[in-house]
């Protein structure tokens, strides 16, 4: 699933709108509430050059598999080496 419902926003862009900042994290909350391990890895950029994240969620207490998945994804892609 995506890490957030919208692409990243520029630094300081939503500082005056705490609700929008909270909603940007809405997809990350479910793993915390369910007690599931999760990791976000870079998976691309918007046309404007802002980063996009991919969120992987694992089974309870199965962090090793989740970390191997994140490692395998980064070994097969080069998104983590690119800069906006």
What DSSP letter does each residue of 54-72 carry, written as one string? EEEE--TT-HHHHHHHHHH
User: Residues 41-69: what's their mean pLDDT?
Assistant: 92
pTM: 0.74
Q: Quick one: pLDDT at residue 30?
A: 86
Q: What is the pLDDT of residues 2-48, one digit of tens each?
A: 888 888 777 888 788 888 888 888 888 889 899 999 999 999 988 88
Query: Which residues are bridge partners to 45 per DSSP?
Result: 51
Q: How would residue 56 be classed by pLDDT, with cut points 50, 70 and 90?
A: very high
């Amino acid at each position: 699933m995506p890490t957030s419902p919208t692409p990243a926003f520029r630094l300081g862009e939503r500082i005056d709108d705490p609700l929008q900042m909270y909603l940007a994290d809405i997809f990350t909350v479910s793993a915390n509430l369910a007690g599931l391990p999760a990791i976000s890895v870079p998976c691309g950029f918007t046309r404007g050059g802002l980063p996009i994240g991919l969120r992987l969620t694992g089974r309870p207490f199965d962090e090793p598999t989740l970390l191997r998945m994140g490692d395998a994804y980064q070994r097969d892609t080069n998104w983590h080496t690119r800069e906006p």
